Homo-oligomer: A and B are copies of this chain.
Amino acid sequence: MNRRVVLAARPSALPAPGDFAFAESRVPEPAAGEFLVAARYLSADPLQRWRMDETANYGATIAIGETIWGRMVGEVVRSRHPGWREGDVAEGMLGWQTYALSRGETEKARYAPGVTRVDPSLAPVSTSLGILGMPGVTAYFAMLEICDPRPGKTVVVSAAAGAVGSLAGQIARLHGCRVVGIAGGPEKARHVQSELRFDTAIDYRGSPDLQAALRAACPDGVDAFFDNTGGEVADAVYSLLAKGARVAVVGRIAQLGGKGTRADVQEYILAARARIEGFIVYDYEHRADEARQRIAGWLAAGEVRYRETVHDGIESAPQALIDVLQGRGLGKHVIRID
């Protein structure tokens, strides 16, 4: 049977387990030109949350009863498609379910069910959901195209222990920047500094005055900010932007439940002549291979490191997403399917 996670109710802010339900249906048979993928891992990503809203800013809303939109990596178990064979590994927007059909389209549009071929000899296939997947591509282009990392610059990364932030900060380090990571909790801060080799890590939960801690870490101001969360953490960084600072607005987890940034952002933008730019990875889909190859090279050379938080079984998928949105765990959250 194909087991699926479906939307049971619209969450108001943070989703609760009861907002999800499970459904079963027969494993579909591929028609001509299709192939069947058996999931190995499902992905838990913040972006999923926004499509659960009645009016989704990032595209179509998930209907009540519909399979949760989400990424999967899995193995082709039956194929009637000329380009895909049994045993091939595919990653794509195939939904939170244990089996999915694909027509093998490449992923061009934001919500099209396209797939990418994964080379399992390169790295564990779960990385196609993380450092070699959408989070990695996000970190790569948002850092390089917006933050303009150059030697001597001070770069701040929020959610620095997460799937995106951990790589973004390492890329800045590889470009000669002084990198300051912000993370929630002492364990994450330690991880960011000792394992990911950021120059400094700040535990915002343990810092009674985050702005003061940031000022101490960035005495000449912040030249670039990889804003992964929005909210109060972002407010503190905005007030320290140096002249000509670059800000990539990448995520807004902290804005769940209306706790959006309330700082006088324009005042800081004006005073610093900062450039702030929104980033959505789908705009870079056509260049994703460039990012994957470069990141794979860094991985092979030991220049970047990654972590995964593994949840077991499709039943754990709702909690995995809740954990992501609450900032629990290190690195990329994946759901292992047996």
Contact = CB atoms under 8 A, between A and B. Distances in A.
Interface of A: 57-58, 227, 230, 234, 249-252, 255, 260-262, 264-280, 283
Given A252-B267, A265-B261, A278 B283 contact: no
A280 B273 contact: yes
A58 B270 CA distance: 9
A255 B249 contact: no
Given A58-B271, A251-B270, A269-B278, 15 more contacts: A57-B267, A230-B266, A234-B266, A250-B270, A255-B266, A255-B267, A261-B265, A266-B278, A270-B278, A271-B278, A273-B277, A273-B278, A273-B283, A274-B278, A275-B277
Nearest to A244: B283
A252 B275 CA distance: 17
A286 to B, nearest CB: 15
Contacts of A273: 277-280, 283
13 contacts: A57-B271, A249-B266, A251-B270, A252-B266, A260-B266, A265-B266, A269-B278, A270-B278, A270-B280, A273-B279, A273-B280, A275-B275, A275-B278
A267 B260 contact: yes
A249 B269 CA distance: 7
Contacts of A230: 264, 266-267
A289 to B, nearest CB: 21
Contacts of A57: 267, 271
A149 B255 CA distance: 32
Contacts of A260: 264, 266-267
A40 B213 CA distance: 51
Nearest to A251: B270
Chain A to chain B: the 6 pairs with minimum beta-carbon distance, closest first: A260-B264, A269-B278, A270-B278, A273-B278, A275-B277, A276-B276
A271 B270 CA distance: 22
B269 A264 contact: no
Contacts of A277: 269, 273-276
A273 to B, nearest CB: 4
A279 B269 CA distance: 8
Q: Give the one of A251, A269, A271 with max B CB within 10 A.
A: A269
Contacts of A250: 270
A280 B272 CA distance: 9
A337 B55 CA distance: 58
Nearest to A261: B266
A13 to B, nearest CB: 14
Contacts of A249: 266, 269-270
A234 B265 CA distance: 12
Contacts of A275: 275-278
Contacts of A266: 227, 230, 234, 249, 252, 255, 260-261, 265, 278
A230 B270 CA distance: 11
B261 A255 contact: no
Nearest to A260: B264
Q: Give the one of A250, A264, A270 with max B CB within 10 A.
A: A270
Contacts of A270: 249-252, 278-280
